Structure 1
Amino acid sequence: MSLRPFTDTPDEGERGARTFKVGGVPSWAQFPESYHCACGAELVYLCQVPEDREFAACPGQPEQPYSVGIDTYQLFLGNEVYLLACPAHCDPAAVWPVNQH
């Protein structure tokens, strides 16, 4: 995987590109969700992993049960995952995963 800049142009429904990305506009699989940090700040969109995204398994590692392929792993049962983070940076662990299918 390599990171490269791209312009995330929202569609008419205000959804961004459905891809693995950091920043830009989220492409919510269902309805947008919002959460607040323990410090009170509203969490902001950080990145997303699209549904059914496969990650190559390192050679010699065990096969993931119920995976699509014997040489790949999937996170979160193949669901779309979004990471929301605290803009106040109140704590290094102030990140919240949102799982949608």
Structure 2
Amino acid sequence: MLPTVEPEPSVRALPLTLQPFVDTPNPRGLGAQTFKVGGTPSWAQDPEYYTCACGADLEYLCQVPEGMEFAVHPGQPEQPYSVGADTYGLFLGNEVYLLACPSHCDPAAVWPVNQN
């Protein structure tokens, strides 16, 4: 399945600005608990490991921290229990990690991991 070209009707796409930073693991070996691409994952529970259908071990790509709010288009209904009327909480407020195939065997060779 390839990504859709249709815009998301509720959640607003915002510019993503990546800035370099040193993700120094803490004494438990966990990285910073923030939205980040690369670095060291800040596993909320035990680390999880998966294998791609091609046989390669999936590698940590990025993470979305727990409780992160996402901007919505004006006029969308308010999400119950959200922080604000103009944001939605996704992933049930859990931390989400994306693991990807280092062999790039397929553009969709990405596996989401949800932890709380």
State if a TM-score over 0.5 links the two structures: yes
- TM-score normalised according to structure 2 size: 0.82
CA shift for structure 1 position 5: 1.2
Q: 2: CA distance between counterparts of 1:92 and 1:79?
A: 25
| Alignment partner, residue 4 of structure 2 | none
After the TM superposition, which segments of 4 or more aligned residues of structure 1 sit over 6 Å from their partners?
Answer: none
- 2:53 maps to 1:38: yes
Q: 2: CA distance between counterparts of 1:6 and 1:45?
A: 17
| Percent identical | 76
Q: What value does the CA root-mean-square deviation take over the aligned residues?
A: 1.2
| Alignment partner, residue 81 of structure 1 | 96
Q: 1: CA distance between counterparts of 2:36 and 2:58?
A: 17
Structure 1 residue matching 2:92: 3-state secondary structure: helix
Q: State how many pairs are aligned.
A: 101
- TM-score normalised according to structure 1 size: 0.93
Residues 1-80 of structure 1 mapped to structure 2, 5 A cutoff: 2-80=17-95
Q: Deviations over 1:17-74 (max 9, x none)?
A: 0000000000000000000000010000000000000112222222224423221111
In the alignment, residue 31 of structure 1 is paired with which amino acid? D
Which consecutive residues of structure 1, in runs of 5 or more, have no partner in the other structure? none
In the alignment, residue 34 of structure 2 is paired with which amino acid? T
Which consecutive residues of structure 2, in runs of 5 or more, have no partner in the other structure? 1-15
In the alignment, residue 49 of structure 2 is paired with which amino acid? S
